[in-house]
Structure 1
Amino acid sequence: MRHGRDESTPDPATRSDPNGTGARARRSDRSTRDRARQARGDLVALCRRRLDQGAVRRTEALVVGRYPELVRLAYLILPPAMERHRRVLAAHALVQDALPGRLRDLGRAPGVAGMSDADLVRLRIVRGALRLNRSTRRRALLPQVWGLRLFPPTGGADEPAIEQALGRLSGPARAFFVLRVLDGLDPGEASEFLLAAGVEDVLAAETEADAGAPEPRPAAHSDAPGSVPDLLRADPFDPCTLRATPSDLLRRRRRRHTALGVLASATMIATIAWHATGGTDPSAGGGGRADRAAPAAQPVGGPPRSIPTGAWVGTTRLDFDVWSTRGTRARDEALTRRAVRAWTDPADGTPVTLGRGTAAGPPTGAPRLLYAGDVAGATVVLLADGTRLARYTDDHGRRTLDVAAADDSDERSASAVVLRRDPSGVRMLLAPWVDEAAVRDLRRPEDKSRPLAITDGVTAPMPDLGTAGKGCATVPVLELLAGRAADNHPYLLADLGELSATHLTYMPPPDYVHTGRPVEAASSERALGVWSRTACALDTLRGRGLRLVNNWEFAHFDLPEAAGEAMWSCLHAFDRTGGGDVVVQFLPPGATATGAQTVNRLADSPACSRSGNDIVTSTWWRSRTGAWYLVAAGTRDVAKVTASGPVSGSADARQLVIKAPPGTLPPPPPALVANVRNGSTIKTLG
């Protein structure tokens, strides 16, 4: 539903202030007394509405009639970092839970009682989506889907850029942008919604949305093809238009066999007990017949589809969907049919290896052919079906198939695929938009990268990270340069034992001085220096189906006794299912990668991501004089840190240092509580 005046006609009060900063400040500086007076009236009005069954029926009709529009609103506000299947279900759950009947609209948001039924529904959806932005570990009761993974269809040229731009915004800023562009609210109305949804700093959310989100075209052109409102209403952002793929069939098969085994054992024990107590033969009354196995899916026949050279040039979407078909044997139809048959029906004895979190089953539709050729004495065929990659290898008659998830890729994480590992090294197939390739040792940031030859997209052998150096002596990674990625700055990928290489990124500390180079590309001098001191942690992340590993330098400060500066790093490893492992490290002055101290290690945690960017952690540090100190650090918005336990103290800062009593060995680190600027409190990671 549209609200407010035509956006093409500016408010007279804002003509002299084109950015609207003064108006926003006046809106955010609302009188507390007026809000309290209005809240008392809201309490009475909302209690009456809650008991009004007619209002409930009207709202139910509204939700049903506008269901696709409301689900799209929830889907766009939810964090894009959330795995798409969970994000779709969460969006539907938020809308289905938007009916009145609870006291959730009462409290900190005066004025909501005067809202229309439609606005109250929208408020509940926005508030719920913002709550999930703060904690993606929440699970909705309904709807639930077993055996299938659901996600919107693949988009065209501009949708990935909008998705990435929205992903860079905080939850409140993304909500402000979506309410403005998708629902057509003016800035004042969108701000009122954020205020009613519990956002403390509405002005900061508006400023961030204006600076970081895609700019909508003028209202007169909002219906033009390619405009931001038009793209947000396209199928890739529609959680009611979905594709379905099977979940992990092999895991379900193992669970089914385990359940049948337990059931058979229980039946045998019950039969023995029945006979032991003089019961009759349980089979006397007729026996049941075992259920037959479900019929297998029909395999997809025919050769794979070829992608023409330069398919990626005319689109802004850069991922595996636009890779060109390459290789000297791309026209060998017998070979490529054999590879497709190994994927659709691997009953000929070809072993199939599934990457972590990868759905089993045949390809969805006719797969695309990315490569077919001879690599280091073996024949290799690389296929893709939109969500997965499949590598078929024929090594002198020994045939294997490796399948890995490939969804949610972008121009960097879809830049390199491992074609062949052998004693001479690792050969990779690079994306067609990659211009140059080199090998860099993460342990030695001062060394220059070594150029890597490329032939028809295939690199010369580079050192295998899994066997390159014992004791983390060397950590070789791939350094790529592409005019269409990372603003033509080098970016790094690591071979972590997967089918596709993992993108390495870097997030600087709050006081970082921007140099003009995209910090997330991890190729700046500071980024390389931080990675050189934390690179050994990559070995603990091998084989986990990772798309990206971000290295966040979230704190650094001077230690006592003039020891120098210490650094805190948090590595968040993003997989393709929404999960991610977290490794927090403390690096005292002078510590190299082998001297880094792992403080926290968490599995499937949102910490150190957009969904959990407030953390506090601590450890013990020993100075040169032998004294022990408790050192604690928090992230950007931590305002106070308090320790309680064997040693106690507090500091009105992001860091805390406490000297242990002399002559005592350090006990386990005490419990920490940190106060965040938004008024909330957080505890130590763990």
Structure 2
Amino acid sequence: MRTQEQSEGTRSGAGRVGVEQAEAALVEHYPRLVRLAYITLPPSLGRHRRVLTAHAVVQRALPASRGSGRDEPRVPAQRGAPDEPGYALVRQRVLAAVLAYGQRPGWWPRQLPAPRALRPVLPAVLGLRVFPRSGGADELALEQALSGTTAAARAALVLHRVEGLSEQATRALLTAAGATDSGSALRTALRLARTPARTGAEARTGDARTGADALLSSDEFDPCLVHTRPTDLIRRRQRIRFARCVGAVVTVLAVALVVVDRDGSSAPSPATGPHNPAVSARAVDPALLLRAPARQWADTSRMDFTVWPARGARKDDRALLGRALKVWASPARTVRISAAHGAATVPPAQPPRLLYAGDVDGAAVVLFAEGDRVVRYAEPTGGKGAPALDFARTDDADITTGAAVVVSRTDGNARYLLAPWVAESTTRDLLAPDAPAHPLDEGKDGVTAPVSSPAVPAGATGCDSWPALQLRSSSKVAEKHAFLLTDLGDLTPVHLTYTPPPGGGVPARSPREATGSQALLSWAHTACSLAGVRGSGVRAVNNWEYARQQLPEHGGRASWVCTRADTWQGPGRVSVQLQLPTGQESRPGAVVAHRENTALCSRFGQNVLAGAKWKAGSGRWYLLAAGSREVREIDATGGVRATAHGTTLAVRAGQSDRAVMTARLANGDTLKALG
């Protein structure tokens, strides 16, 4: 709920607040105050210490004595604010305390007690670790963004977006609480507030707000809803034994030893987990990696990366696996990181699944799967050079989109790790639809021989070849199920499908595998245009031949094809091609329309209309148009005026004439032309 402050709040409505009024406000709005303290405190504390410190700060926020008002600040009265001056006072004291906590001198050792004013006391928890519930990718991304800002900016974000204070009131409250640059803090907060929620945070929180507003109100940032886990029991026992030994030495030698790190660093040792405090030690423990049984894929109806067994000669190399997990959890600046469009690069939230670990083309490679993504780690085997991390999305992967992952790229070639259900692997050139597929060698660990990668600059009008994988699944999961994949620069190759033209009186057809002769011929005209979607997180591309048209002057039969590229995130982009009967199998079709972020040419957008100019052999120009199966009539207006019944239109037109085309559907609706 947003509130509005009185414009004269700093001059009127201010007063002294008694301890009873402040205590009532604290008790009533305790969760809001603790959330403010938790988000403002330095993330480097770690979630356990931050939860306890937030509770401690709020519980110490009451005025020192009953009726004492000499040292209490005068607070502005705020219209609609909870408990008005009482809540405003407690909130300001909480804010001042957490801002002061983050301003301890950099030279102050973390192991030594802080000054009393900065040292939270109770509550204390022994033997347990407490932390809020884990959120999704959006919450983790916001947590990372907050960790790179100042405490004042984090406080400004909560005050402005959660507490509902105006910008002026936010700056005033930050200044009163001791912030040195409230204006800069507010500008940073406003920038963070514009961060959109990508995975439905408002649906998870039940909050109608979007972006940072909904995320900050989620359980990820609620220190009053916490989980508990025991501390490391083995290390606790080791510490107890060590303490007993130290006690015996002290008794014998009467020497007290105070051990302080020479550099005052608070970074944990490799045995306790990553440097990122948001990552648990369990998530980076190679002993806890998930591994599917070798034959699980043959006995389940879920065909995705969760049933891939761990493969590779170094799948049991704890040292390599540990390095890969630690680099993923806390990559150094020298680590080369790449991510497919929409793929999160956040550290693992839980132990990931191991897919592969081995040496490939001069690099030690480890492949992980976690949730809706696949992660590739590679380090040079010679010890020279920086490691690399690559991320790709794999939402709802299936028997085709989860059939292969790129293991290595060298010299324009790619090696793939194939799914365990792939029984036969071949390669073919999409620009040579009549040429047979060639066998592709596959090692015992599932890694293929090098396969040429398509090398066509974006926007090119032609290319010499377009390599693709043609795989066949095992009869244990799908009898004679062959499908095509091609490399578009991401970790996961793209699934190619084909939808044939509508037949007379038959229902609308669904996409099918692009391995038949008609499908291969369609893709021979389309393959080179795939360069335009390279590296954009594409999951699958379908060629829908939605209409065929007899050209005027005995020009032959042309095909109208809508090519839809679907991303792992969901949105797709479409382009319509006019494929002319030129006699050249690999001649690219002419792209006549294009649109991004649309449902067109999918099962949620089955109606399409497009037009183009065409020059006949006689030199005369024509306006051509074609619609999908539900089109009953096409109208052209503007520079060309014509009407045609059915799904196609062809009319004489000047080369420079412009036309606006619409179609009437079977249900009476009007359809505008794409383009």
662, 665, 671: which is aligned to 2:655? 665
Structure scoring higher RCO (CA < 8 A, sep ≥ 6) equals: 1
Asked if structure 1 preserves the Cα contact closer than 8 Å seen for 2:526 and 2:588, the reply is no
Q: Which amino acid aligns with 1:528?
A: L
Give 1:246 deviation, angstroms.
1.3
Is 1:407 the counterpart of 2:395? The answer is yes
575, 581, 584: which is aligned to 1:583? 575
Q: Which amino acid aligns with 1:301?
A: V
516, 521, 524: which is aligned to 2:513? 521
Is 1:495 the counterpart of 2:525? The answer is no
Q: Give deviations 1:646-676, integer Å, cap 9, x for gaps.
A: 001111100011111xxx43333x1111111
Is 1:418 the counterpart of 2:395? The answer is no
Is 1:362 the counterpart of 2:347? The answer is yes
360, 374, 377: which is aligned to 1:389? 374
| 1:361–1:284 distance in 2 versus 1, CA, 3 Å | closer
Q: Classify the secondary structure of the residue corresponding to 2:607.
A: coil
Give 1:320 deviation, angstroms.
0.7
Give 1:641 deviation, angstroms.
0.8
Give 1:253 deviation, angstroms.
6.9
| 1:530–1:258 distance in 2 versus 1, CA, 3 Å | farther
| 1:323–1:286 distance in 2 versus 1, CA, 3 Å | closer
Q: Classify the secondary structure of the residue corresponding to 1:528.
A: helix
Is 1:536 the counterpart of 2:510? The answer is no
Is 1:644 the counterpart of 2:632? The answer is no
| 1:467–1:635 distance in 2 versus 1, CA, 3 Å | closer
Distance 2:668 2:329 in 1: 55
Is 1:330 the counterpart of 2:315? The answer is yes
664, 669, 675: which is aligned to 1:680? 669
Partner of 2:284: 301
Partner of 2:604: 611
Asked if structure 2 preserves the Cα contact closer than 8 Å seen for 1:320 and 1:386, the reply is no
TM value normalised by structure 1:
0.57
Moved more, 517-526 or 418-427: 517-526
Give 1:606 deviation, angstroms.
0.8
Partner of 1:321: 306
242, 246, 268: which is aligned to 2:137? 246
Asked if structure 2 preserves the Cα contact closer than 8 Å seen for 1:599 and 1:618, the reply is yes
Distance 1:386 1:512 in 2: 44
| 1:329–1:653 distance in 2 versus 1, CA, 3 Å | same
Give 1:466 deviation, angstroms.
2.8
Give 1:680 deviation, angstroms.
1.3
Q: Give deviations 1:549-606, integer Å, cap 9, x for gaps.
A: 1110111111000010001111111111110111111112216544411111111111
Distance 2:299 2:617 in 1: 61
Give 1:282 deviation, angstroms.
13
449, 455, 465: which is aligned to 1:474? 465
395, 420, 430: which is aligned to 2:418? 430
Distance 1:284 1:297 in 2: 30
Q: Which structure would you say has the larger Rg?
A: 2
Give 1:421 deviation, angstroms.
0.5
Q: Which amino acid aligns with 1:298?
A: V
Is 1:547 the counterpart of 2:539? The answer is yes
Distance 2:623 2:144 in 1: 50
TM value normalised by structure 2:
0.58
Q: Give deviations 1:328-373, integer Å, cap 9, x for gaps.
A: 0001011111111122222474232221011231223110100000
Q: Higher helix proportion, which one?
A: 1
Q: Classify the secondary structure of the residue corresponding to 1:413.
A: coil
Asked if structure 1 preserves the Cα contact closer than 8 Å seen for 2:343 and 2:393, the reply is yes
Distance 1:685 1:379 in 2: 48
Asked if structure 2 preserves the Cα contact closer than 8 Å seen for 1:418 and 1:428, the reply is yes
Q: Classify the secondary structure of the residue corresponding to 2:524.
A: helix
| 1:518–1:652 distance in 2 versus 1, CA, 3 Å | closer
Distance 1:650 1:259 in 2: 65
Distance 2:576 2:142 in 1: 31
Give 1:611 deviation, angstroms.
1.1
Asked if structure 2 preserves the Cα contact closer than 8 Å seen for 1:468 and 1:475, the reply is no
- Identity among equivalent pairs (%): 38
What is the 5 A alignment of 1:58-137? none
Give 1:483 deviation, angstroms.
2.5
Distance 2:596 2:633 in 1: 27
Is 1:634 the counterpart of 2:615? The answer is no
Distance 2:141 2:173 in 1: 34
Partner of 2:647: 654
Q: Which amino acid aligns with 1:419?
A: V
Q: Classify the secondary structure of the residue corresponding to 1:306.
A: coil
Asked if structure 2 preserves the Cα contact closer than 8 Å seen for 1:600 and 1:685, the reply is yes
| 1:579–1:256 distance in 2 versus 1, CA, 3 Å | farther
How many residue pairs align between the two structures?
422
Distance 2:150 2:620 in 1: 57
Distance 2:573 2:553 in 1: 35
Q: Give deviations 1:514-563, integer Å, cap 9, x for gaps.
A: 9xx99611101111111111111111110111111111011111100001
Give 1:307 deviation, angstroms.
2.0
331, 354, 373: which is aligned to 2:358? 373
Q: Classify the secondary structure of the residue corresponding to 1:531.
A: helix
Distance 1:548 1:457 in 2: 23
Distance 1:284 1:317 in 2: 56
Q: Which amino acid aligns with 2:463?
A: C
Distance 1:468 1:642 in 2: 38
Partner of 1:139: none
| 1:468–1:685 distance in 2 versus 1, CA, 3 Å | closer
Partner of 1:559: 551
Give 1:447 deviation, angstroms.
0.4
Distance 1:593 1:622 in 2: 21
Distance 2:464 2:357 in 1: 35
Q: Classify the secondary structure of the residue corresponding to 1:312.
A: helix
Q: Classify the secondary structure of the residue corresponding to 1:511.
A: coil
Is 1:483 the counterpart of 2:474? The answer is yes
Partner of 1:441: 429
Q: Give deviations 1:285-329, integer Å, cap 9, x for gaps.
A: 885256799995224231122222111111011111111110000
Partner of 2:614: 621
Give 1:467 deviation, angstroms.
5.9
Gaps of 5+ in 2: 1-132, 155-171, 190-220, 222-275
Distance 1:403 1:319 in 2: 17
Partner of 1:461: 450
Q: Give deviations 1:416-466, integer Å, cap 9, x for gaps.
A: 100000016110000000011111100000000111000021100011113
Q: Classify the secondary structure of the residue corresponding to 2:416.
A: strand
Q: Classify the secondary structure of the residue corresponding to 1:569.
A: strand
Q: Give deviations 1:596-633, integer Å, cap 9, x for gaps.
A: 11111111111100111101010100000111100000
Q: Which amino acid aligns with 1:636?
A: R
Q: How big is the alpha-carbon RMSD for the aligned residues of Structure 1 and Structure 2?
A: 3.4
Q: Classify the secondary structure of the residue corresponding to 1:526.
A: helix
| 1:554–1:345 distance in 2 versus 1, CA, 3 Å | same
Q: Which amino acid aligns with 1:430?
A: L
